[in-house]
Amino acid sequence: MPIRWSALRLSEAMDMAEEHVNQATQPLEQARIVAREARKIDNLPGYADDRLARLIWEIERMERLREAIKAVRLAIPDGAIEAELESARHGSQQSLM
């Protein structure tokens, strides 16, 4: 049974999403460094330290975005992208069914 959705478009969308994540990685790493340094401020109240720790944890969770993108890519059936590219090379033809 042919795939009715575009595996190629989904793959391209994940390429774009990954590029955006990659662009955000360095600024987020800088924010993490700043938050870690802020935790070293003398006499920092516990509630502020807790919030900084949470901020650091949230930034570190951003690595899960890469895992989520990878999971989407793994959900694309094997050979679907190649089949779509091959079909596009030969032109489209309407199904009789």
Q: Is 76 exposed, middle or buried (0-12, 13-18, 19+ CB in 10 A)?
A: middle
CA distance 87 to 8: 11
Task: Name the residue ranges covered by the structural domains of the chain.
Answer: 7-77
Cα–chain-centroid distance for residue 87?
28
- The pTM of the full predicted model, rounded to 2 decimals, is 0.71
Pick the closest to residue 19 from 85, 69, 60 (CA basis). 69
Q: Do residues 89 and 37 make contact, with C-beta atoms less than 8 angstroms apart? A: no
Kindly report, residue by residue over 70-89, the tens digit of the pLDDT. 999 999 999 999 988 888 88
Residue predicted with more confidence, 95 or 19: 19
Pick the closest to residue 88 from 17, 7, 16, 32 (CA basis). 7
Distances (CA, A) of 51 to 20, 47, 96: 26, 6, 61
Kindly report, residue by residue over 8-56, the tens digit of the pLDDT. 999 999 999 999 999 999 999 999 999 999 999 999 999 999 999 999 9
